[in-house]
Structure 1
Amino acid sequence: MTSEARLRNLGDQPSQTPEFDYIIVGAGSAGCVLANRLSEDGKNSVLLLEAGPKDTNLWIHVPLGYGKLFKEKSVNWMYQTEPEPGLDGRTVFQPRGKVLGGSSSINGLLYVRGQHEDYDRWRQHGNSGWGYDDVLPYFKKAENQQRGADDFHGVGGPQPVSDLGHPDPLSAAFIAAAAETGIPVNPDFNGASQEGAGFFQTTTRRGRRASTAVAYLRPAKARKNLHVETSALAQRVVFDGRRAVAVVYRQAGVLRGARARKEIIVSGGAYNSPQLLQLSGVGPADLLRRHGIGVVLDAPGVGHDLQDHLQVRVVMRCAKRITLNDIVNHPVRRIMAGAQYAAFRTGPLSIAAGTSGAFFKTSPRLATPDIQIHFLPFSTDKMGEKLHSFSGFSASVCQLRPESRGSLRIGSADPSAPPEIRINYLSTEVDRAANVEGLKILRKILRAPALSSYVVEEVDPGAKVSTDEELLDYCRRRGSTIYHPTSTCRMGSDALAVVDQRLRLRGIEGLRVVDASIMPDLVSGNTNAAVIMIAEKASDMILQDAR
């Protein structure tokens, strides 16, 4: 069936189908950047499709509101993995943003770029133009750094990057404790070197979340050449032979179509981008045929190489009633915190999902840190659930460069059905050893003198867990995601690579993928800053290639 006939099946005549120069599918961390940059000079018409609603939920804009949005179906895909063999067969909750701003509207707000070596590794694997020196200008272009410009940071960009608005004694004591164990103090994890302990910076502006919907899309929405459609779930990309020509989407129960004169850019993230490609006939041929989908391109790499960061948390009982637990569980203090935020945009409601932290090596043989610590002045059994009734704080171990690889596969031909997610956490010996060693080093930090006046006891895993075998068992029982899925449409030139170094889908014309799914492998840290950089760089490439 031709592309014309497919669009006629929607009940529209092809002449009545709206046309745009560019169609962007997904208004998340990457899509909002693309929408701004591609429409910036007024010459290109751009359609931005978002499956979720506008970002009007109050809690999106309050930094601590990520806890309220963790299981909020109206703005969250709320995916689950298949049973994970390395985690005792448990399924793992996978929150992803379904709203303008995508996951940048519901994430933990930390601004961490990763290590210089991450990007040099991408380049060394054949992706020219993606080394650290190549991508640094795009990090700086995006950034409006509160501390001012220097060799590593920019000012005047759309994305605000701010210092912690609510420093607390526990977070400062963690940095001091890390220094007592030999981890140097580092005032800038995104500067010359990542290694060390310090305070995180956040994607906030004056105490409010600065998602890409706020930072990039909002300033551009008044442009006549930019059209934004929300609650518009993409059903498939339409092809004319091997060229992408249109997108079919469902909005308010009605199937609609839009044509692209130049390119279609898929920016649904590491889960929804490969899902849409597979639904459209681009993916592993046997999988597509099994679900009755016609094969446009047999691309076995689509949905392959899924990677994510595992986190394993340690919970401490605090000797002083200074934790967020104490504020949330006390009606008067809770009201006072709300009033402080409403009046000044400061206080406990302004904190991110990590106040201070550390990056360190579990072995002297390693060239760069392989573990990240997120420290939090509160504690809970699971993120998004009620805080503990006792005074508590927590810190989590995150292995930065896991070897474990998983997959993303559609479970049916229904675009509204969740995909099958298999991450295969802890499937290699390197990953198991790194998590165990990371926990051992974290415990040393939490027992250091600088924290001693704050610590009553370790609640979880507790003194009963001490040997390497017991620590690994704890990782299997309690480990969970830290919400950084990547690499399911990865960039490269090998047989399983999905996009080339200019993010064009290999074997297809008029189609690019721009989001975390194109990462050749995980960056060593939180992923949002890297995705914004990828979209900034992709915008330049798209406009250059159109000349």
Structure 2
Amino acid sequence: MFNTFKVSIGSMLFIQLFCCTVVMVIGQQFKLKQLNDRQAIHNQWASQPLTDTTYDYIVVGGGTGGCVVACRLSQRGNNVLMIEAGGAQHAVLNDMPGAYDKQLKVGKDQFWQYYTTPQAAWGGRTYNEIHGKVLGGDSSVNAMVFGRGSSVYYDSIEKNTGARGWSFKDVLPYFMKIENNTDPTADSRFHGRQGPIKVQAPKSTAPILQKYLDTLEEMGLANKDPDNYNNDDAAFPQGMWYNGVRSSTANGYIEFGGLCPKLKVQANAWVYKLLIHNDTNGEPRVSGVQFEKNNKTIKVNATKEVIVSAGNYMSAHLLMLSGIGPRDHLIDINVSPIWADLQIGTSYQNRPAINLEYAITDQSLVGELPMNTDSQIEDCVVNGKGPMCDAPRILVLYNSKINYPKEFVDIINFVTLSPPVAGSNVSVGHAFTFVSKTRAMGTIRLRSNNYRDLPYIDPNVLGHPEDKTRMMDAIAKFFYHIEETSFKKYAAIPEKPQSSECEYCKSGPQWKCHELHECLFRTLGITEFHPLGVIPFGGPNRIEAVLDERLRVKGVRGLRVADASILPVGYTFTPNTGPAYVVMMVAEKVADMITEDNKH
């Protein structure tokens, strides 16, 4: 099947991932060919030789944003090199929407393994926060959530940061340019149909999820455009996949989109240094990058610009190691020379979250869930349907008791199901719950000047009193939905608290049990996996802005950043959605900016 599976269909790795029943499917020639062909394309893009040492543009990071900006620049006739630390996508684990949960558990080589510092709100625990280390980045490993967030966020950017050109009316054309919405009822004023990222609604939904959605509608949460994050809402949202194939940016733009066949790619290559010198005007200028591949150090040059799209943590890591960042911190870490004293990593936010469980009292309402069986794989590969081809979930948007303005919701739930674990025949419901509007700011700092030491990540969880109020309100609302609404006919709170360190209140409903809510978050709380604001942009008067409104690094020529790290937070709203689609918009927009700025 794949390069690592060529020897035989008895490959140990394949057996470990999908068990013996799946091997029977792969052994049938027709299914083997379809997966083989797809994996061959993945591998081809990840195994290109390096043919030049000088390019017009170098894009650091072949993830959600990097694939977009690199492809668009190449499409316009430029000689572009995109460098990605990870390798090829996997034709099953990455491409099949239903394999999402399995991929998180066994595809560890496709993830950066970051750890937070100990958090007081978690009782001193740390947390392993993973992010995509593969072509396509997080868009190849995430939950495929399709959402641009509230228009209020974009309209607030110019008002609060002074950066022009980022209002909702300015960015909407870029969102639509990305999107190929396959839903015939999608409003053409807000949704595109010709873009490289295919989008669809789930083809099938579990009856228990429909019951939950019905309950939410009874409570007054509207079931409308699931990409409208401006008001209380509940719906089966669309996802970034189509006919059983994930719409990662690597798939949609590069490997199967056919938009940029001349793009050069170096995979499994870790960029650890920007090459900077003083130009003829005495100003710092980036002229290339240095990376490691196969234990060799390689330098490549860019005649026009270097665009860093390595994600929040690695973009900040690279800039600071290269002498761009807070001067005092870089001196402490023995980074030299220091080219620009900029406040990288000081306005970082990563929103608090918790994954809560509920018991399903009527298991007949669960329906068929993805189990990676031979018949499910076959149904998805051959027919483009079935649980391996789908990822149904309910998106719930609502306001906490302290939220204002109400049109910018501050609590988001994703309600899903998980199949029975080994030795059980009982499926469980989940509500991944997070606060989408936070006040606390965290920090990102280098551990050392050794590029292999991943950075210190301090999200400062619940570091502002409002954040705790919102989080506790979110947990209380989850229990309220289970205990006090019509949904209690089909579901119940677990027999025992999810955490063995917590206890249910002996009297009264658990949605009023504040001690339980605090204990659950202390023992089970996590981040939402979506860091933002590490390298923010802003107008000329924002001293905390690292980038100008065209995403150029201040004080360093020939260098831009284009990923989720650039999104302003703290003094404005945060985009109340998963940022993948937002990052694609940023990349499309910056590709146009780069083209305009380099015309002469």
What TM-score does the superposition give when structure 1 sets the normalisation length?
A: 0.90
The equivalent residue for 2:597 is 545
For 1:58, the equivalent position in structure 2 comes to 92
2:575 maps to which of 506, 523, 527: 523
Residue 106 in structure 1 maps to residue 125 in structure 2: no
The match for 1:201 among 217, 238, 249 is 238
- Structure 1 pair 276/345, CA: closer, same or farther in 2 (3 Å)? same
Tell whether 2:530 aligns with 1:484. Answer: yes
1:104-131 deviation digits (Å, cap 9, x = unpaired): 1100111011100011111212111111
Check the 8 A contact 2:482/2:493 in 1, yes or no. Answer: no
Q: Residue by residue, what CA displacement relative to the aligned partner does 1:243-289 show, whole Å, maximum 9, x if unpaired?
A: 11110011111110111111000000111100000111111222222
CA contact (8 A) 1:87 1:476 kept: yes
Name the residue aligned to 1:141.
177
Q: Deviations over 1:14-54 (max 9, x none)?
A: xx971111000000000000111111122x11010001112
Partner of 2:125: 90
Q: Distance in 2 between matches of 1:282 and 1:417?
A: 17
Alignment-derived partner of residue 337 in structure 1: 376
Q: Report the alpha carbon displacement of residue 344 of structure 1 after superposing the two structures with TM.
A: 2.5
Q: Relative to 1, partners in 2 of residues 1:95 and 1:57: Cα closer, same or farther, differing over 3 Å? A: farther
Cα distance in 2 for residues equivalent to 1:143 and 1:386: 39
1:172 aligns with 2:224: no
- In structure 2, the residue matched to 1:12 is none
The 5-angstrom pairing of residues 247-262 of structure 1 reads 247-262=289-304
Query: 1:377: which partner in 2?
Result: 417
Deviates more, 1:295-304 or 1:536-545: 295-304
Q: How does 1:419-458 map to 2 (within 5 A)?
A: 419-447=455-483, 449-458=485-494
* 1:499 partner amino acid: L
**Taking structure 1 as reference, are residues 224 and 436 closer, same or farther at Cα in structure 2, changes over 3 Å only?**
closer
Contact 1:325 1:392 in 2 (8 A): no
Given that 2:273 and 2:318 are in contact with CA atoms closer than 8 Å, whether structure 1 keeps it comes out as yes
Matched residue type, 1:317: A
| Residue 481 of structure 1, CA deviation | 2.0
Please tell me whether the aligned partners of residues 319 and 391 of structure 1 are also in contact (alpha carbons under 8 angstroms).
no
Separation (CA, whole Å) in 2 of partners of 1:357 and 1:22: 39
Deviates more, 1:440-449 or 1:305-314: 440-449
* Deviation digits for residues 426-452 of structure 1 (CA, Å, limit 9, x no counterpart): 111110000111222222223355423
* Seq. identity, %: 29
Instruction: Please state if 1:233 is matched with 2:270.
Output: yes
Deviation at 1:339, TM superposition (A): 3.9
Distance change in 2, residues 1:327/1:346 (3 Å)? same
Q: CA offset at residue 366 of structure 1?
A: 3.4
Q: Is the 8 A contact 1:324 1:378 kept in 2?
A: no
* Equivalent position SS for 2:149: coil
1:497–1:386 CA distance, 2 compared to 1 (3 A):
farther
Alignment of 1:253-292 (within 5 A): 253-292=295-334
1:463 Cα deviation after fit: 4.2
> Within 2, Cα distance between the matches of 1:225 and 1:349?
33
Return 449-458 or 135-144, whichever deviates more. Answer: 449-458
CA offsets, 1:467-521, max 9 Å, x none?
A: 3343123222211122111110011142221111100001111000000000002
Structure 2 counterpart of 1:517, which letter? S
2:455 is the counterpart of 1:409: no
Deviation at 1:64, TM superposition (A): 2.6
Counterpart of 1:351 (choices 372, 390, 404) is: 390
Question: Residues 284-323 of structure 1 correspond to what in structure 2 (within 5 A)?
Answer: 284-322=326-364
Q: Partner amino acid for 1:183? A: L
**Cα pair distance change 1:158/1:120, threshold 3 Å:** same
- Indicate if the aligned counterparts of 1:263 and 1:511 stay in contact, CA closer than 8 A: yes
* Partner residue of 1:360 out of 398, 401, 414: 398
Q: Check conservation: 1:152, 1:191, Cα contact below 8 A.
A: no
Q: Is the 8 A contact 1:325 1:391 kept in 2?
A: no
CA-based RMSD of the aligned residues comes to 2.4
Q: Secondary structure at the match of 2:548?
A: coil
Q: Secondary structure of the equivalent of 2:112? A: coil
| Mapping for residues 393-408 of structure 1, pairs under 5 Å | 393-408=429-444
Letter in 2 for 1:349: M
Secondary structure in 1 matching 2:132 = coil
In 2, are the aligned partners of 1:189 and 1:195 still within 8 Å (CA)? no
TM-aligned CA distance change 1:432 to 1:142, over 3 Å:
same
8 Å Cα contact 1:36-1:220 kept in structure 2: no
**Do the aligned partners of residues 182 and 379 (structure 1) sit closer, same or farther apart at CA in structure 2, a change above 3 Å counting?**
farther
Residue number in structure 2 paired with 1:9:
none
Report the Cα offset of residue 300 of structure 1.
4.1
The question of whether the paired residues in 2 share the 8 Å contact of 1:281 and 1:296 is answered with yes
Seen in structure 2, the aligned counterparts of structure 1 residues 387 and 410 have a Cα distance that, compared at 3 Å, is farther
Q: Structure 1 residues 387-396 or 235-244, which shifts more? A: 387-396
Aligned with 1:304: secondary structure? coil
Matched, 1:162 2:214: no
Q: Give the aligned partner of residue 132 of structure 1.
A: 168
1:420 is aligned with what amino acid? Y
**Do the aligned partners of 2:206 and 2:367 also contact (CA within 8 Å) in 1?**
no
User: SS state of the match for residue 125, structure 2?
Assistant: coil
SS of equivalent residue, structure 1 residue 78: strand
Residue 123 (1) aligns with residue 123 (2): no
Structure 1 unaligned residues grouped into runs of 5+:
1-15
Distance change in 2, residues 1:56/1:313 (3 Å): closer
Aligned to 1:496: 544
Equivalent AA in structure 2 for residue 230 of structure 1: A
CA deviation map 1:49-78 (0-9, x unaligned): 001112135301111322233253321112
Output the CA distance in 2 between the equivalents of 1:222 and 1:140: 17
- Assess if the C-alpha contact under 8 Å between 1:515 and 1:535 holds in 2: yes
8 A contact 1:35–1:217 mirrored in 2: no
Shift of 1:321: 2.5
Structure 2 CA distance for partners of 1:309 and 1:347, relative to 1, 3 Å: farther
Encode CA deviations 1:287-320: one digit per residue, 9 max, x unaligned.
Answer: 2223322133343411221111222232111122
The more displaced of 311-320 and 465-474 is: 465-474
Q: Structure 1 residues 34 and 339, CA, compared in 2 at 3 Å: closer, same or farther?
A: same
Normalised to the residue count of structure 2, the TM-score between the two structures is 0.82
